[in-house]
Structure 1
Amino acid sequence: MADPSVPPNADEIEAAVDEALHGLELEPYETAKILGFANEELSQLQTPETSYFVLGSYRDPYVRRLRTVENELNKRLSSYAFVMGDLREIGLDRLPEFRIRFHLLASYADYVVGVYEQDAGGEVTELGKISETPYFDKSYVLPRDYCWMTGENFDGKADVVAAAMAISYSDDLTEDEKTSELESLAAEARENGIDISRDDLSTAVEEQKAEETVSYSWVHLNEFRLFELHNRCQPWVEESELRDSTDIVPTPSRHPDWETE
């Protein structure tokens, strides 16, 4: 009789771990601990319920919005939304445990949903992971105050100012480059029927710097843009909008597209 602590898909789990660790050889006790974790935590992801792996910061005040998304998804019938921080540790001193847990959970979850409000912390690493194969096709991002810097995406002056804020806070640009980017941004906005000048943008940026704003690096903006082009990015500003933004994530009644490919 098989050991009851070993999940029936042990070979599949070991293959996923092998890929996550790039073929690193494991000690027998490490394999046993990983399979024990999988037996307890992955079983919930192998039921008829639709599972949602929710990513984001565990620090105040960001964790409140992370819980908001988790709760909204859990309101759906036949759904199971969770964050990795609520699951038990594996107990591996030698190995990069976060990487193992992340890859196992992301592999078996039906959908991955990321909540973003800053360009620092562990969520930066997570964003890079879900924007690549094999997780991209089932992942969705909910970035606060995000707007791509092209005129066709501007609904009004507020969107242009949001783009200007991203330029102003970028650590990847010199002051001269920021000035040039703001000039180009203002020109593109005018071409799209929005009456605004570079001086207007500079004034608006200075006025908003005293308030709570969100800034992202160009790396973040490019990742968000990729999801946006695939219709899997929903920006938000207020927490009430964040609740509504979860509507972009498929409901349990919809079969995951990534499973049909």
Structure 2
Amino acid sequence: MDTSAPPPDATEIMALVRDALGDIELEPAEKREIWSFVQRELPYLRSQRTSYFILGSYRDPYLRRLRIVQHELTKRVGAYPFVLGDLDEISTDRLPMFDVMFTLLAAYTDYIVGVYEKESGGEAPELGEIDDAPYFAKTHVLPRDYTWFAESNIASRTNLLDAALRIHFRDDLEDHEKQDELDALLTRAQEVGVSVTDQEIEDAIQEREDDGTEPTTYSWVHTNKFRLFELHDRCYPWTTENDLRTAVENLPSPTPRPTWEK
């Protein structure tokens, strides 16, 4: 099969390309590259498997967390989780083909899963793409250390660990002051029925020390976008890598399809 030839739904594909690039006249070689990418990658998204497009940072140590999500989803029968960075790129020196690849994959995938640990990097503009139509309804986000600005949010294990980490990494407190803050935090947690052990807190702190990553501080824009997903029950905050594995369980399960679909 000639993978550089236009696919049967070339008109639909080109409409998506125009969404990504605007009214730019494509050169023949660029069209062939796009057709090749489409015929190489889209069959996986049109198969009977449920696809999960995983977004996030491709740099270490953040890439490891994308792999955790991908690995957990791979355990599900009928799932096809993939990371954009693993796919062959569309080769061109003239156009921003990342935009084309992202648009095509986001349009045809079943679910988009965003993993966030920082407010800078390529995942920041991606967040701006997926929080609106047509992608919002299929997107779920997993932001590390995210808490909405409300006292009631301490009433969860993940948020309590996040608060403990922020106390530990404060530069303006002496060690005994940090311990006093942690003791007060644990007392408050007990009052609202949240159970977290000293060992869990120590493990969370050690994981951050090993990674060299302090608790994330998000911009107001990021926090509001996460809040929007939270209000739609598609935001799953996490603190440790074990929390992330648990958070993945909230993602929709693969759904068998009739053969005429996709």
The alignment's TM-score, normalised by the length of structure 1, stands at: 0.75
Q: CA deviation at 1:114?
A: 0.5
Q: Which residue of 1 aligns with 2:88?
A: 88
Q: CA deviation at 1:28?
A: 2.2
Q: Which residue of 2 aligns with 1:116?
A: 116
2-structure distance, mates of 1:103, 1:157: 36
- After superposition, the C-alpha distances for 1:24-48 in whole angstroms (9 at most, x for unaligned) are 2212221121111111011111111
1-structure distance, mates of 2:25, 2:218: 38
Q: Which residue of 1 aligns with 2:10?
A: 10
2-structure distance, mates of 1:158, 1:113: 19
RMSD: 3.0
Q: Which residue of 2 aligns with 1:184?
A: none
Q: Which residue of 1 aligns with 2:133?
A: 133
Q: CA deviation at 1:86?
A: 0.6
Contact 2:4–2:35 under 8 Å retained in 1: no
1-structure distance, mates of 2:45, 2:111: 11
Q: 1:34 to 1:151 in 2, by over 3 A?
A: same
Aligned partner letter, 2:91: G
Contact 2:158–2:237 under 8 Å retained in 1: no
Q: Which residue of 2 aligns with 1:76?
A: 76
1 or 2 for the larger relative contact order (CA 8 Å, sep ≥6)? Answer: 2
Q: How does 1:37-116 map to 2 (within 5 A)?
A: 37-116=37-116
Q: 1:76 to 1:160 in 2, by over 3 A?
A: closer
- After superposition, the C-alpha distances for 1:164-196 in whole angstroms (9 at most, x for unaligned) are 999xx9xxxxxxxxxxxxxxxxxxxx9xx88xx
Alignment equivalent of 1:243, drawn from 232, 242, 245: 245
Q: Which residue of 2 aligns with 1:142?
A: 142
Q: 1:117 to 1:163 in 2, by over 3 A?
A: same
Q: Which residue of 2 aligns with 1:186?
A: none
Number of aligned residue pairs? 219
Q: CA deviation at 1:121?
A: 0.7
Are 2:220 and 1:222 aligned?
no
- Give the gaps of 5 or more residues in structure 2: 170-187, 193-204
The alignment's TM-score, normalised by the length of structure 2, stands at: 0.75
